[in-house]
Amino acid sequence: MKGKVVWITGASSGIGLALAKAYSQKGAYLIVSARRLKLLKELQKQLPNPEDCCVLPLDLQNHEQAHQWAKQALDFKGHVDILINNGGIGHLGSVDEMEFQIEKQVMEVNFWAAVALSKAILPHMLSRNTGQIWTVSSILGFFGSPKLAAYAASKFAVIGYFESLQYELQNSGVHAGILSPGFINTSVTVKSLGPNGVPIGVNSSAQEKGMLPEVLARKFLNKTARRKLPKHIIIAGYERFSIPFKRFFPNLFSVVYSKLTNVTRKKNA
């Protein structure tokens, strides 16, 4: 990673923060983006070489500014080697109670912002015939879940879009990859929006027992250090087995997952 320029969105906390620190330790130049400038500045101070980090605050909901953001990112060192579309938001509420605008916001941030940023930086990478674009999906990109319809839809969309881009780039030096984490011990559930758009302020037990983001970051860097880059990286605990379970035994999965989610709802009631 020495001398590589890595642009990470959602870098102020959780997975993005852990990735920023991990890349910095490997000698990369960083461009860190999120809404909260104060937290980005705090991150910059924590890095081994703060001067090798560019703070670029942005709100992914305003993704029509993506080309402007890309220009600012390129002004840092003249190129971007790796873009990690990590920024996102969650929600918690059934389809009939969630406000449409909240569901639309989830799609705008989790999916369309990643598309906009990727399209803004892709011509630069193609002109150099090198570069990597990684976009964070989730194990919920493989199956739906109650009260998470828009979130799951956004992650399904990420997989469909960036798998398609992989085929388009297969004869170039640019790589488009997908990262699908399982339960990671972050505050994403706490910050998830309720039906009225207010953060729910409560974490889930699965999230609290999840993998530490620092562990995920280390695993991700190890997997992307290979000569042949993987197209889809799944980093999770036991929940990773749900993906082949759903694929090969869809009917049985539906029965089991329905029972599990019913038990969870009763515990949280």
Lowest mean pLDDT among 2-6, 188-192, 251-255: 188-192
Supply the pLDDT for residue 219. Answer: 97
CA atoms within 13 A on the CB side of 126: 12
Q: Is the pLDDT of residue 269 over 50?
A: no
Q: Is the pLDDT of residue 263 over 80?
A: no
Concerning whether 151 is annotated as a catalytic residue, the answer is yes
Burial (CB count <10 Å: 0-12, 13-18, 19+), residue 107:
middle
pTM above 0.85, yes or no: yes
Average pLDDT for residues 182-194, to the nearest whole number? 85
Q: Read off the pLDDT of residues 33-70 as tens digits, 9 standing for 90 and up.
A: 999 999 999 999 999 899 999 999 999 999 999 999 99
Catalytic residue among 151, 161, 167, 257: 151
Give the mean pLDDT of the chain: 93
Which tokens go with 17? 């923060």
Per-residue pLDDT band for 209 (boundaries 50, 70, 90) equals confident
Which tokens go with 130? 């090198």
CATH architecture for segment(s) 5-240 = 3-Layer(aba) Sandwich (3.40)
Q: Read off the pLDDT of residues 66-106 as tens digits, 9 standing for 90 and up.
A: 999 999 999 999 999 999 999 999 999 999 999 999 999 99
- Please work out, in degrees rounded to the nearest 5, the angle formed at the alpha carbon of residue 181 by the alpha carbons of 192 and 219: 135
- Domain-wise residue ranges, the chain: 5-240
